[in-house]
A = this chain, B = another copy of it.
Amino acid sequence: MAEITIEQARVMVRETLAKGRQMGLKPLSVVVLDAGGHVKAFEREDGASPGRFGIAQGKAYGAVMLHMPGSAQMARAEQQAYFMAAANGVFGGQVVPVPGGVLIRDDAGVVIGALGVTGDTSDNDAEAALAGIEAAGLKGEA
């Protein structure tokens, strides 16, 4: 399995934030988690609220731990709220099941991590994330 390098992580963070500026979004926060759900890189833009690390991490954590992107987690939460609540029990309350948690796949399609973005609407967060992942030559699934 390919591992996300710090160089790739930096590109994803930088280009996600650049996309957010280009789209005119509110201040964003971006986290990169590796295939084990562990933090590789994070940045919170000036003006973002203080709790954004936890929200960004939560979006990405559920994605990588379950190999379900944010949109799929949200669909599940809408259909079976108790399932995502239970997942949160299992994962220590670290799962935020909404768009903006985006799976990162390598060329072979293997999940190598997840990007978590928060600050604007969940859909805008996800769009910025996809741009960042693509800029690093990887494939995103939102």
**A interface residues (Cβ-Cβ under 8 A, vs B):** 1, 3, 5-6, 9-10, 34-46, 49-51, 53-55, 57-58, 64-67, 77-78, 80-98, 111
* Residues from chain B with Cβ under 8 Å of A37 in the complex: 36, 50-51
CB <8 Å contact, B80 and A87: no
Identity of the chain B residue whose Cβ is nearest the Cβ of A36 in the assembled complex: B36
- Integer count of this chain's copies in the complex: 4
CB <8 Å contact, A85 and B85: yes
A84 to B55, CA, bound (A): 11
A64 to B38, CA, bound (A): 12
CB <8 Å contact, A41 and B40: no
CB <8 Å contact, A90 and B96: yes
